Structure 1
Amino acid sequence: MARRAHIMGVGMIPFTTPRKSETYDVMGERAVREALLDAGVDFAQVQQAYVGYVYGDSTSGQAALYRVGRTGVPIVNVNNNCSTGSSALFLARQAVASGAADCVLALGFEQMQLGALTMHFADRPSPLTGLEEATRAVQGTSDAPFAAQYFGGAGAAYAAEYGLAPDMFARIAVKARRHAAHNPYAVFREPVTVDEVLASPQVFGPLTRLQCCPPTCGAAAVVVASADFARRHGTARSSVVVSAQSLTTDSASTFDSGDMRKVVGYDMTRAAARQVYEQAGVAPEDIPVVELHDCFTTNELLTYEALGLTPEGSAEKFIADGDNTYGGRVVTNPSGGLLSKGHPLGATGVAQCAELVWQLRGHAGGRQVENANVALQHNIGLGGACVVTLYERVN
């Protein structure tokens, strides 16, 4: 039987824009030291390390961790596009659950460049070729940034099917800023209105600039341990465990459905969520707080339904009734999400974990969700991979 993985410690540095960023190795070191301090363990006790980043040379993980210590620990570098951080966490959790190690570190960082995401290697086949072909077949081509074409097209497909009111996507951006106002780690904390969101420059489909996550730099780290290790070395506070976790990749429907929602991973998310609910024996209605992958407002709306937080076709009512925020049914992205906190690709999944651990410990300050005993995390990367994780507080 698999052992339960305990989240002993989390660390995160404030996210920032590329112009103000430290280098990736410095950011990584800072996040790791915070996580080790929180866990109450020394780096020499870490038996394995998984380090996630998307834009960087090979063994960048070693460059960051060597600043903490040169202990000979096995270090594995991970790249799964925007789900990289959660993929590193998946491997760390798996190492503990399998009994291969008792104390494992997951680190994610990203030193991003200004501007929209681009593919860096034009001299070889793109790993997104299948997505590109599927997208062209549905909506042709555009000069807009490629990610905005995917997610903007998905939002347009949803709006066309369900007659979504034009301001519904914009309301998600407004909610994100309102949540981020209480998060000292977030990049954008100033409030915005629906009118301001809609009046910002058009990007693609229903997306305007304020509905797209910004290029951001940052780092986060997590110490994952077995119950025995946590008991021997941890603090007396309530423990947070990974109750269930699933990593899924694309099925045929991503490429042959003719539906942009499936192109951006709707079916991956739905499959991962169902596996997690089954593993943990919980239902979406049991979950009070979620950190989900809101790289664009359109994806947050789609993810409400893919995760089962609201029935298919009901996202408009879910938003209008305020069921996605404080006082509603489930608080989505109390951190401000990728839209406001920022999206340093390799760090995002680990940062989501840190936020939910703080929520379950009751340490989230002004953004604390009441009665948070379980929490759900969703992190997706085109190309593709989706990681859904359920956390639980145990005394």
Structure 2
Amino acid sequence: MSNKVFVAGVGMIQFKKPGTNEPYDVMGEQAIRLALADAGLDFSDIQQAYAGYVYGDSTCGQKALYRVGMTGIPLINVNNNCATGSSALFLARQAVQSGAVDCALAFGFEQMNPGALKSAWTDRAPATERALKLTNELVGMPDLPTAIRQFAGAGFAHMQKYGTQLSTFAAIRAKASRHAANNPLAVFRNVVSTEDVLAAPMLWEGVLTRLMACPPTCGAAAALVVSEAFAKKHGLRTDVLIAGQALTTDLPSTYDAKDMIRVVGFDMTRLAAQQAYEQAGIGPEDVQVIELHDCFAQNELLTYEGLGLCAEGGAEQFVLDGDNTYGGKWVTNPSGGLLSKGHPLGATGLAQCYELTHQLRGSAEARQVEGARVGVQHNLGLGGACVVTVYQKH
């Protein structure tokens, strides 16, 4: 059995800097209540729930959900690194598509600490040990935080291979700030220029400035997905269809190619995109709006190529031609993306769903992409997982 799956309701709270946020369970509750109100559903209508978060003890999802209600439904806590929010959505969509349930909730939250990401466990080898060893071999620079070494290292590899300029990454970051200025839920809404980004403190000389990296952020988001029969029975909207979705993990090339671009998930992205496009019966040329995983400006550029928006090595010209913003071929990250909207790990994928749902509804206000009928979401976690989702206006 394969049901059509619709996004009936979405909710998102404003993302904030660590220390200025509510506790994680309060943030989760707020996002769930917003999604229920958006859909016009009662908590008792939810048949299954999936909670996404990275930093927290087991059953944190229950703590947040119980603030809304306790009906005894199954709840599964999901942790797939930075792809956690979309992984929760993948499971909720799969439950409805299979006919196991007619209404499922995916929600995600993160209460983060300032500074670079680090493991909570120091008494065991990290899950990403293999990638770390390869990063040490290819990049070195052990004094830098791991995420910088990996994603900026991948950007540096692109610079060396294709002659990509630092100013191109800066232009991507400046574009993100212009988009976020129209998003009241973004953590950073101040507009910066390409020159401002280049003038920011260097974290890796000639390769990365501070403004090219996304900040640690706290926040929450949620989505309710339903079957067509359930939507008709309850009078729910069916204008946003999940037409294709794929979750991929690492391939041998992630490590065997000895290429930092592959280490940070390029081949996972390409495979997930191909699978999601095929399910939806579309190609990238049919898409108008994209929310992608720009944890670093470097990764946004790599993702243009991974999603098939341009050929490998063609991303710099893609940026210079303005094909990543309003008036170009695609609008990427109208929300401001992770760079400006923020990146609370467990909530990020569901915040992307929130943005694309409003884009296809035509309710994105000042951020609205004219004529948006197909949207693509890309959410990446090293270790690894990548989720690509295709939404269509129905």
Q: TM-score range by the shorter chain?
A: over 0.9
Q: CA deviation at 1:391?
A: 0.4
How many Å separate the matches in 2 of 1:124 and 1:222? 35
How many Å separate the matches in 2 of 1:80 and 1:134? 21
2:387 aligned partner: 387
SS class of match (2:166): coil
Whether the 8 Å contact between 2:81 and 2:381 is mirrored in structure 1 is: yes
Q: CA deviation at 1:165?
A: 2.1
Q: How does 1:199-238 map to 2 (within 5 A)?
A: 199-204=199-204, 206-235=207-236, 237=237
2:21 aligned partner: 21
Whether the 8 Å contact between 2:7 and 2:224 is mirrored in structure 1 is: yes
Q: How does 1:62-141 map to 2 (within 5 A)?
A: 62-141=62-141
Structure 2 stretches of 5 or more lacking a match? Answer: none
Whether the 8 Å contact between 1:39 and 1:234 is mirrored in structure 2 is: no
SS class of match (1:302): helix
SS class of match (1:35): helix
How many Å separate the matches in 1 of 2:9 and 2:56? 26
Summarize deviations over 1:87-133 as a string: whole Å, max 9, x none. Answer: 00000000000000000000000000011111110101100101011
Q: CA deviation at 1:150?
A: 0.2
Q: How does 1:158-173 map to 2 (within 5 A)?
A: 158-173=158-173
SS class of match (1:34): helix
Q: Which amino acid aligns with 1:354?
A: Y
The 4+ residue runs of structure 1 with deviation greater than 2 A are: none
Q: Which amino acid aligns with 2:119?
A: M
Summarize deviations over 1:183-231 as a string: whole Å, max 9, x none. Answer: 0000111111112111211223611110000000000000010001111
2:313 aligned partner: 313
Q: How does 1:163-312 map to 2 (within 5 A)?
A: 163-204=163-204, 206-235=207-236, 237=237, 239-312=239-312
How many Å separate the matches in 1 of 2:183 and 2:60? 28
When the two chains are superposed, the root-mean-square deviation of aligned CA atoms in Å is 0.9
Q: CA deviation at 1:238?
A: 5.3
How many Å separate the matches in 2 of 1:256 and 1:93? 33
How many Å separate the matches in 2 of 1:308 and 1:2? 28
SS class of match (2:343): coil
Whether the 8 Å contact between 1:243 and 1:391 is mirrored in structure 2 is: yes
TM-score using structure 1 length: 0.98
Whether the 8 Å contact between 2:174 and 2:194 is mirrored in structure 1 is: yes
Q: Which amino acid aligns with 2:124?
A: R
SS class of match (2:244): strand
Q: CA deviation at 1:142?
A: 2.0
Structure 1 stretches of 5 or more lacking a match? Answer: none
Q: Which amino acid aligns with 2:69?
A: G
Q: CA deviation at 1:166?
A: 2.4
SS class of match (1:270): helix
How many Å separate the matches in 2 of 1:166 and 1:152? 11
How many Å separate the matches in 1 of 2:138 and 2:4? 44
SS class of match (1:62): helix
344-353 or 278-287, larger mean C-alpha shift = 278-287
Summarize deviations over 1:333-361 as a string: whole Å, max 9, x none. Answer: 00000000000000000000000000000
Q: Which amino acid aligns with 2:221?
A: A
Summarize deviations over 1:131-169 as a string: whole Å, max 9, x none. Answer: 011112212242111101100000000011111122000
TM-score using structure 2 length: 0.98
Whether the 8 Å contact between 2:51 and 2:76 is mirrored in structure 1 is: yes
Q: Which amino acid aligns with 2:322?
A: G
Q: CA deviation at 1:234?
A: 3.4
Q: CA deviation at 1:323?
A: 0.5
How many Å separate the matches in 2 of 1:329 and 1:289? 9
Whether the 8 Å contact between 1:137 and 1:258 is mirrored in structure 2 is: no
In structure 2, relative to structure 1, the CA distance for the partners of 1:12 and 1:234 (3 Å cut) is farther
Q: Which amino acid aligns with 2:374?
A: V
How many Å separate the matches in 1 of 2:203 and 2:52? 29
